[in-house]
C-alpha cells in the first residue's frame, strides 16, 4: 500500500452543515463562509466587480457581490484600492471573505475567467462561465474557467455551469484547475460540459501541495478527461453523474488518492485509473454504478496505462474527516440533472431521491431592504416531484434504426424512439415495485399528432390505465407497478416518442419510492440479470418464397422461457392466430400458404412472466416475380453478354442510358438523389469505351470523365469479353520524368508492364512490385496521379471484364485542405479495381476512388477492390452525401479514410452510408502482420457514417476508428472468423479487439455480432454481442428520405446466415442484382443462389 502524502486534516467538530450550506473539505480549516455578514453590492459588468473588490476598507472585509449581467472583456477594466485586479479576468488576489453570487440566470461570464491567487474563504455560486480561451482572441485566465493558484484555501464552488466549446486544439484549457498549494475546497452541484479537460489538482508531478478537495453532486457531460487529474493530494468524490467521457475520467497519479462513492457512470471510456504515466495513484471505490452497456475499459500493454476496470477493486482506504449523507446511486442521474448547474432554482438533494428547493429564483435587487439585508427569508422547503423514468430501464417492440428505447427516459426532447411499424410498444420498468399516479408522454418535434390511438397499461396486472387518440399528461389513482407499457395502436406517418415520464405526485405515498439502488442499477460492475439494455429486444425477419415464409429472429437481453409465433392477414395483433408455441430455435418455416398478404409477430415470455412482443413483419406472396417485366428489351440488353450496347431494339442513347439507370436502381442513404450520367430530362449521352479507336481506352475515359455533361460510360462487350487491364497511369507515359524513373524506359515499355519487366530482367513474381512500388514511388511524378471525374458521370462496368490496375480516380479536387473543384452526381459501379500490393505510404497515393473537395452525391456500388495499394474509397476535404453499397473488398488493408487530418473542420460535413458490403481477408492473410493494423472501415474524423448489414470475414482486430469528434452508427453488421486460425484467436479476443479504437466523438454499436466458424465457414457456438456506446451519435436514419427509409426497412436483414448469404451473392462486380433495383430477385431466391462455403 502507498504511503500517505499528508497528515490527516482535522476532523469536523460540529454536525454536518445542512442543505444550503457548504459540505465537504471546505467545512474544515475554520470553514468557508465567504462574505457572510458583509456589505451587499450588485454588479452587471466586470468593472463593477473590480470596483466592489477594491472599495473595501481592508482586503479581508467581508463582501457579497450579486452579479446580474453578462461579464465580458468589453465591460471589464482594472480598479485600484484594496485589491489587485486586471482587465482580462476577474481576479481574487490577496483578498479574503468574498462571495460572488449570480442572480437568477443573469450571471454569465462570456470568454472571461475567474482567477484565485493568495486568497481564502471564497464562495462562487450560481455563475455560468463559458468559452474561456488560452489561445486565439480573446484570451483569459490561461484558458481556465476557474483557476486557483498559489496559497488558496477554503473555497466553495457551488451551482455553477462551466463549459467550453472544445479542447486544447480549439484554444481552451481546463474548466477548473487547482495548483501550487490549493487546499480545503468543495465543488458541488456544478455542471461541467463540452470540454477537453475538466481540471487538475497539481500542474506537474513536482506540484505536490494540492489536497483535501470534495467533489459532490456534480454533472460531468461530454468531457474528454481530467475529472480530475489528481497528483499527490487527497480528494473525495460522491454522488456525481458522469455522462460522456471520451478519453479518461478520474485520473489519480503520482501518489494521489481519491475516494469515489455512489457515483453514476455512463457513456464513459476509462472512467477511473492511472493514465499517461507509470507513477501510480490510488482509489477507494464504493457503491458506484458503471453502465455495462456504455462504459468501456481500454486495456493496454503500455507501462503508462492502468484502468481500474473492468474488475474493479479498491487500492487504498481513505478516512473522511467530516460527516456527509449519500444519496442512492440509482437516483443520481435524475437528481443531478434537476439540481446541478447555474441559472435556475437553487436545489439540493432532500436525502430521499428528491430535490429540495432552497432559493426560488436567486436573490434579486428588489428583494433587498438595505445593504445589509440577507437571503435568509428566501428558503423554500417545497419538494418537487421527480421523473421516475430517469432512474428506470426501458424496452419495447422493434425500433426504427437510429432510435433508442433509452431516448424516452433521457430528459431530452431532441432524441426519440420510433416503432418499426405503425403500431408498437415502449415500456418503462424498474427493478422493484414503485408507486405511480401520473404519466406524461411527449411526441418528438415534427411528429406531434402522428399517434392516433394508444393505450397505457400496468404491465404488472394488465390493467388498462387510460386510452385515447392524443398523447399528453395522464393522471390516475395510485398504482404499484414494476413496469408501465405504452401501446401505440394506430398512427399516421412515423410515430416518435421523445419522453415517457412517470411521476408520483401524491407525497403521502412517496416513501414507497425510496428504491434501493441495487434494485435498479449495477454497482461497481457486479453481476446483474437486469435487462435494461438499449439494444433491441426482438428483431424478426420474414423471407417469402412462392408458398412458404421463413421467419428468423434474434433477441437481446431477455431471459427466455417461452417463444410463440402469431400470424394474421391484416396488421392486427389482437385478432392474430397462434401458429406455433413450442419454439426452441430462432427460425420457423410457415408453409402451404396461398397468395396474399401475411403479418407475423414473435412473442417471447421471459422467466418473470413478462411478454415481449415484436413489431409486425409483413410479406406479400402475390408479388414474387423474378424480374420486373416492364421492359423486356432493357432486361435483354443488361443480361445478354452477346448483345452489345447498340444492338438492341433500344436505339436512342437516352433510352439505353435510361435502361442502364433503371436496371441499376437507386442508392439508399445519404446519396439517394444520385443519378450519375442519367438525365431524366433527355440530355444523357452513352459513351462506349472500345479498343479499336485511335485513342487508347484510358484516353477515351479521360475525355468522358473530364466533361460535366451527362455521360454514362460503359465498355464494349466484345472488346472486353476477356480480362483486360486498364491503367490510368499510362496517360503519364509521355512524361520524361516518368520515363527516367523507369530507368529511361521507352513509352512502349511504360505502357506495357510485362515488356518493361522482360527488358529489365525483373522476374514475373516481382514485376508489379518493382514497377509500381519501387520505380514509380515518387511524389514528383505528378503525371501519374489520380485523374479527376467531373460532375454527372457514371462509370459502369457491367457486361465487360475490364480491370483497373494500380490506381483509379478522384472525384473533385483539393489543395491544402480546401476544395479546388466540386464534382457532383457521380456513380462508380460494377468495376474491378486491383492494386499492385500494399505500400503503407506510397508517394503517389494510389487510391482507387477518392471523393474530395466538398464533392457530393456519389454512389459507389457493386465494385470489387482487391489488394489496393492505398484505400478503396477515401472521403476527404468535406465530401458528403456518399453511399457505398454491395462492394466486395478482398485483402484490402485500408478501406476508407473519412477525413485525412484531425484539424480540418471542413470534414465535419462528411456524411456516408456504408451498407451490404463484403469485406474479406483470405485465410492465408489472416495473421499476416500487414493486416494487424487499423482496417479503416472507416477511420472517421469529424464527419458521420452509418454502417449496416455489412459482412466481415477474417477481420481479427481494429475494424474502425473514431477520432476528432467523428460519429459512427454501426448496426446489424456481422463478423465471421474461423476458430481454427493462424493466430489462435478466440471469441474473447475478438470481442475485445474487433472494434475498440474510439478516441473522441460518438460511436454506437447495436445488433452487431461476431461468430466463430468451422473450416467450412459454418457458424459454431453462440454469437458474441458487440453492443456498446460511446459519446453521442445522431439518428442518421432519420436524415434519409422517406423512400430510402422504406427501402432499407423492407430489406434490412438481421445478422446471421441469411445476411451472410445475401451479401455473398450480391456484393462485388458480377454479383446478383440487389434490392436497389426493381430487376432484383426476391430475398429468398438470392439467398438460395448464394455460393456455399467461405467467401
pLDDT at position 1042 is 84
Cell of 769: 512490385
> Does the pLDDT value for residue 629 go beyond 80?
no
Q: How far is the C-alpha of 111 from the C-alpha of 131, rounded, in Å? A: 5
> What are the residues whose beta carbons fall under 8 Å from the beta carbon of 329, sequence distance 6 or more?
239, 262, 263, 264, 287, 288, 289, 517, 521, 523
Task: Tell me how far CA of residue 775 lies from CA of 835, 913, 954, in angstroms.
Answer: 15, 37, 32
Sign of CA dihedral 35, 39, 42, 47: negative
11-29 average pLDDT score: 64
Per-residue pLDDT, averaged over 719-744, amounts to 96
Range picked from 234-248, 354-368, 514-528 for highest mean pLDDT: 234-248
Task: Read off the pLDDT of residues 1039-1060 as tens digits, 9 standing for 90 and up.
Answer: 899 889 988 988 899 999 999 9
Of the ranges 402-416, 979-993, 1066-1080, which one carries the lowest mean pLDDT score?
Answer: 402-416
Confidence category of residue 521, pLDDT binned at 50, 70, 90: very low
Q: Looking at residue 19, what is its pLDDT?
A: 42
Looking at residue 423, the DSSP 8-state letter turns out to be S
Question: Residue 75: is its pLDDT beyond 70?
Answer: yes
Residue 796 has pLDDT above 90, yes or no: yes
The widest CA-to-CA distance across the chain, in whole angstroms, is: 102
Q: Average pLDDT of 832-843? A: 82
Whether residue 3 has pLDDT greater than 80: no
Q: What is the pLDDT of residue 298?
A: 85
d(CA 473, CA 272): 41
Q: Which residue has the higher pLDDT, 29 or 412?
A: 29
At 392, list the grid cell: 428506470
> What confidence tier does 908 reach under pLDDT thresholds 50, 70, 90?
very high
Over 60: is that where the pLDDT of 384 sits? Answer: no
Looking at residue 943, what is its pLDDT? 95
Instruction: Kindly state the percentage of the chain with pLDDT values over 90.
Output: 60
Q: What end-to-end distance do the CA atoms of the chain give, in Å?
A: 54
For 541, the grid coordinates are 425477419
For residue 533, what pLDDT is reported?
38
CA distances for 626 relative to 65, 406, 487, 639, 1047, angstroms: 79, 41, 38, 13, 18
* DSSP structure class, residue 524: T
Strands, E, within 867-935: which ranges? 873-875, 880-885, 888-890, 897-898, 911-915, 918-920
**What's the confidence (pLDDT) of residue 868?**
87
Neighbours of 111 (CB within 10 A): 18
Does 528 have pLDDT greater than 60? no
pLDDT higher for 601 or 217? 217
pLDDT at residue number 8 = 54
Catalytic sites, residue numbers: 226
Read off the pLDDT of residues 929-961 as tens digits, 9 standing for 90 and up: 888 888 999 999 999 999 999 999 999 999 999
pLDDT at 95 (0 to 100):
92
The pLDDT score that the predictor gives to residue 840 is 61
Averaged pLDDT for residues 731-756: 96
* Average pLDDT estimate for 803-817: 95
Query: What's the rounded mean pLDDT across residues 553-570?
Result: 84
pLDDT tens column, 333-364: 989 998 999 987 788 887 777 767 664 433 33
Q: What is the pLDDT of residue 865?
A: 96
Give the span between the Cα atoms of 22 and 27, in whole angstroms: 6
Please tell me the predicted confidence (pLDDT) of residue 543: 82
Question: Which band of pLDDT confidence, cut at 50, 70 and 90, is reported for residue 628?
Answer: very low
Residue 714 grid cell: 460503359
Average pLDDT over all residues of the chain: 87
Nearest to 209 by CA among 244, 179, 242: 179
More confident residue, 989 or 378: 989
Higher pLDDT, 1076 or 447: 1076
Contacts of 370 (CB under 8 A, 6+ apart): none
Mean pLDDT on 107-127: 95
At 630, the pLDDT band (50, 70, 90 cuts) reads very low
Note the pLDDT of residue 4.
36
Predicted confidence band at 510 (pLDDT cuts at 50, 70, 90)? very low
List, in sequence order, every beta strand (DSSP E) within 473-537: 473-491, 497-503
DSSP 334: H
Distance of alpha carbon 5 from its chain centroid, rounded? 41
Q: Which residue has the higher pLDDT, 508 or 486?
A: 486
Give pLDDT, residue 754.
94
| pLDDT for 434 | 82
Q: What is the pLDDT of residues 864-895, one digit of tens each?
A: 999 988 899 999 999 999 999 999 999 999 99
Distance between CA atoms of residues 909 and 554, nearest Å: 35
What domains can you pick out in the chain, each with its CATH number? 27-378 (2.160.20.10), 388-507 (2.60.120.260), 538-620 (2.60.40.10), 684-733+781-1052 (2.160.20.10), 736-779 (no CATH)
**Predicted pLDDT at 345:** 74
Query: Rounded to whole angstroms, how far apart are CA atoms 484 and 501?
Result: 11
pTM above 0.95, yes or no: no
Amino acid at each position: 500500500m502507498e504511503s500517505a502524502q499528508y497528515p490527516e486534516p482535522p476532523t469536523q467538530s460540529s454536525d454536518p452543515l445542512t442543505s444550503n450550506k457548504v459540505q465537504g473539505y471546505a467545512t474544515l480549516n475554520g470553514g468557508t463562509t465567504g462574505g457572510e455578514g458583509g456589505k451587499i453590492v450588485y454588479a452587471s459588468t466586470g468593472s463593477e466587480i473590480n470596483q466592489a473588490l477594491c472599495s473595501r476598507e481592508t482586503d479581508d472585509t467581508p463582501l457579497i457581490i450579486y452579479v446580474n449581467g453578462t461579464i465580458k472583456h468589453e465591460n471589464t477594466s482594472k480598479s485600484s484600492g484594496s485589491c489587485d485586479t486586471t482587465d482580462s479576468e476577474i481576479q481574487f488576489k490577496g483578498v479574503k471573505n468574498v462571495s460572488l453570487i449570480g442572480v437568477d440566470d443573469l450571471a454569465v461570464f462570456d470568454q472571461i475567467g475567474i482567477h484565485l491567487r493568495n486568497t481564502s474563504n471564497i464562495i462562487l455560486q450560481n455563475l455560468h462561465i463559458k468559452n474561456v480561451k488560452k489561445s486565439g482572441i480573446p484570451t483569459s485566465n490561461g484558458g481556465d474557467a476557474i483557476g486557483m493558484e498559489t496559497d488558496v484555501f477554503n473555497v466553495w464552488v457551488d451551482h455553477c455551469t462551466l463549459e467550453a466549446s472544445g479542447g486544447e486544439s480549439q484554444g481552451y484549457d481546463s474548466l477548473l484547475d487547482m495548483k501550487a498549494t490549493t487546499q480545503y475546497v468543495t465543488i458541488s452541484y456544478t455542471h461541467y460540459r463540452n470540454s477537453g479537460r475538466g481540471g487538475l489538482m497539481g500542474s506537474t508531478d513536482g506540484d505536490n501541495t494540492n489536497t483535501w478537495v470534495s467533489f459532490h453532486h456534480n454533472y460531468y457531460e461530454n468531457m474528454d478527461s481530467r475529472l480530475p487529474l489528481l497528483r499527490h493530494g487527497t480528494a473525495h468524490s460522491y454522488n456525481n453523474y458522469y455522462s460522456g467521457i471520451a478519453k479518461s475520467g478520474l485520473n489519480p497519479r503520482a501518489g494521489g488518492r481519491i475516494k469515489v462513492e455512489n457515483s453514476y457512470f455512463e457513456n464513459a471510456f476509462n472512467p477511473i485509473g492511472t493514465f499517461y504515466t507509470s507513477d501510480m495513484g490510488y482509489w477507494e471505490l464504493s457503491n458506484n454504478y458503471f453502465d455495462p452497456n456504455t462504459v468501456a475499459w481500454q486495456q493496454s500493454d503500455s507501462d503508462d496505462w492502468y484502468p481500474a476496470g473492468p474488475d474493479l477493486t479498491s487500492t487504498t482506504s481513505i478516512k473522511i474527516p467530516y460527516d456527509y449523507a449519500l444519496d442512492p446511486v440509482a437516483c443520481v442521474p435524475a437528481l443531478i440533472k434537476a439540481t446541478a448547474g447555474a441559472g435556475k432554482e437553487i436545489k439540493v438533494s432532500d436525502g430521499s431521491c428528491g430535490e429540495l428547493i432552497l432559493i426560488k429564483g436567486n436573490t434579486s435587487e428588489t428583494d433587498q431592504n438595505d445593504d445589509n439585508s440577507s437571503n435568509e427569508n428566501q428558503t423554500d422547503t417545497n419538494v418537487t416531484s421527480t421523473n421516475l423514468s430517469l432512474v428506470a430501464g426501458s424496452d419495447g417492440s422493434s425500433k426504427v434504426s437510429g432510435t433508442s428505447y433509452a431516448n424516452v427516459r433521457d430528459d431530452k426532447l431532441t432524441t426519440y424512439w420510433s416503432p418499426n411499424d405503425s403500431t408498437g410498444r415502449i415500456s418503462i420498468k424498474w427493478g422493484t415495485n414503485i408507486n405511480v399516479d401520473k404519466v406524461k408522454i411527449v411526441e418528438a418535434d415534427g411528429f406531434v399528432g402522428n399517434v392516433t390511438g394508444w393505450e397505457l397499461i400496468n404491465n404488472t396486472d394488465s390493467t388498462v390505465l387510460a386510452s385515447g387518440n392524443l398523447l399528453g399528461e395522464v393522471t390516475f389513482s395510485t398504482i404499484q407497478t414494476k413496469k408501465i407499457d405504452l401501446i401505440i395502436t394506430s398512427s399516421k406517418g412515423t410515430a416518435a416518442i421523445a419522453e415517457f415520464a412517470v411521476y408520483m405526485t401524491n407525497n403521502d405515498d412517496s416513501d414507497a419510492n425510496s428504491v434501493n439502488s441495487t434494485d435498479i442499477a449495477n454497482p461497481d460492475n457486479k453481476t446483474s440479470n437486469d435487462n435494461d439494455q438499449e439494444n433491441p429486444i426482438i428483431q424478426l425477419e420474414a423471407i417469402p418464397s412462392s408458398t412458404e415464409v421463413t421467419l428468423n429472429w434474434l433477441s437481446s437481453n431477455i431471459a427466455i422461457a417461452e417463444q410463440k409465433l402469431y400470424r394474421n392477414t391484416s396488421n392486427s395483433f389482437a385478432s392474430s392466430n397462434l401458429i406455433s408455441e413450442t419454439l426452441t430455435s430462432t427460425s420457423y418455416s410457415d408453409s402451404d400458404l396461398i397468395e396474399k398478404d401475411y403479418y407475423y409477430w414473435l412473442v417471447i415470455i421471459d422467466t418473470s412472466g413478462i411478454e415481449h412482443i415484436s413489431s409486425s413483419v409483413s410479406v406479400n406472396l402475390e408479388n414474387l416475380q423474378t424480374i420486373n417485366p416492364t421492359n423486356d428489351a432493357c432486361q435483354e440488353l443488361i443480361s445478354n453478354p452477346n448483345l452489345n450496347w447498340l444492338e438492341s431494339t433500344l436505339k436512342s442513347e437516352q433510352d439505353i442510358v435510361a435502361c442502364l439507370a433503371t436496371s441499376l436502381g437507386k442508392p439508399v442513404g445519404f446519396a439517394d438523389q444520385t443519378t450519375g450520367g442519367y438525365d431524366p430530362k433527355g440530355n444523357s449521352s452513352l459513351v462506349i469505351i472500345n479498343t479499336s479507336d485511335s485513342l487508347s481506352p484510358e484516353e477515351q475515359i479521360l475525355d468522358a470523365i473530364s466533361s460535366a455533361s451527362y455521360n454514362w460510360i460503359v465498355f464494349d462487350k466484345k472488346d472486353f469479353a476477356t480480362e483486360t487491364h486498364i491503367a490510368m497511369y499510362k496517360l503519364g507515359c509521355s512524361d520524361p520524368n516518368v520515363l527516367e524513373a523507369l530507368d529511361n524506359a521507352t513509352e512502349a515499355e511504360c505502357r506495357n508492364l510485362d515488356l518493361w519487366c522482360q527488358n529489365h530482367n525483373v522476374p514475373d513474381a516481382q514485376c508489379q512490385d518493382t514497377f509500381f512500388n519501387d520505380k514509380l514511388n515518387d511524389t514528383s511524378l505528378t503525371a501519374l496521379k489520380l485523374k479527376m471525374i467531373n460532375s454527372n458521370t457514371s462509370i459502369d462496368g457491367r457486361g465487360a471484364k475490364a480491370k483497373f490496375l494500380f490506381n483509379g480516380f478522384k472525384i473533385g479536387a483539393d489543395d491544402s485542405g480546401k476544395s479546388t473543384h466540386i464534382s457532383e452526381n457521380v456513380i462508380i459501379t460494377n468495376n474491378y479495381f486491383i492494386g499492385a500490393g500494399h505500400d503503407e505510404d506510397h508517394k503517389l497515393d494510389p487510391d482507387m476512388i477518392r471523393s474530395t473537395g466538398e464533392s457530393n452525391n456519389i454512389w459507389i456500388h457493386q465494385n470489387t477492390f482487391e489488394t489496393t495499394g492505398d484505400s478503396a474509397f477515401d472521403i476527404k476535404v468535406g465530401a458528403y452525401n456518399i453511399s457505398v453499397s454491395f462492394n466486395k473488398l478482398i485483402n484490402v488493408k485500408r478501406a476508407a479514410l473519412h477525413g485525412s487530418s484531425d484539424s480540418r473542420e471542413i470534414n465535419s460535413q462528411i456524411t456516408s452510408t456504408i451498407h451490404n458490403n463484403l469485406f474479406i481477408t483470405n485465410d492465408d492473410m489472416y495473421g499476416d502482420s500487414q493486416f494487424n493494423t487499423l482496417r479503416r472501415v472507416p477511420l472517421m474524423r469529424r464527419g458521420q457514417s452509418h454502417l449496416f448489414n455489412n459482412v466481415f470475414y477474417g477481420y481479427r482486430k481494429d475494424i474502425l476508428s473514431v477520432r476528432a469528434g467523428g460519429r459512427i452508427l454501426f448496426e446489424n453488421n456481422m463478423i465471421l472468423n474461423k476458430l481454427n486460425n493462424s493466430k489462435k484467436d478466440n471469441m474473447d479476443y475478438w470481442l475485445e479487439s474487433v472494434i475498440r479504437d474510439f478516441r473522441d466523438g460518438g460511436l454506437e454499436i447495436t445488433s452487431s455480432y461476431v461468430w466463430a466458424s468451422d473450416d467450412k465457414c459454418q457458424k459454431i457456438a453462440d454469437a458474441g454481442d458487440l453492443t456498446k456506446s460511446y459519446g453521442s451519435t445522431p439518428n442518421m436514419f432519420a436524415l434519409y428520405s422517406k423512400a430510402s427509409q422504406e427501402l432499407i426497412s423492407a430489406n434490412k436483414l438481421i445478422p446471421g446466415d441469411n445476411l451472410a448469404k445475401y451479401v455473398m451473392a450480391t456484393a462485388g462486380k458480377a454479383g446478383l442484382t440487389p434490392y436497389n433495383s426493381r430487376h432484383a430477385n426476391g430475398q429468398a431466391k438470392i439467398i438460395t443462389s448464394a455460393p456455399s462455403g467461405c467467401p
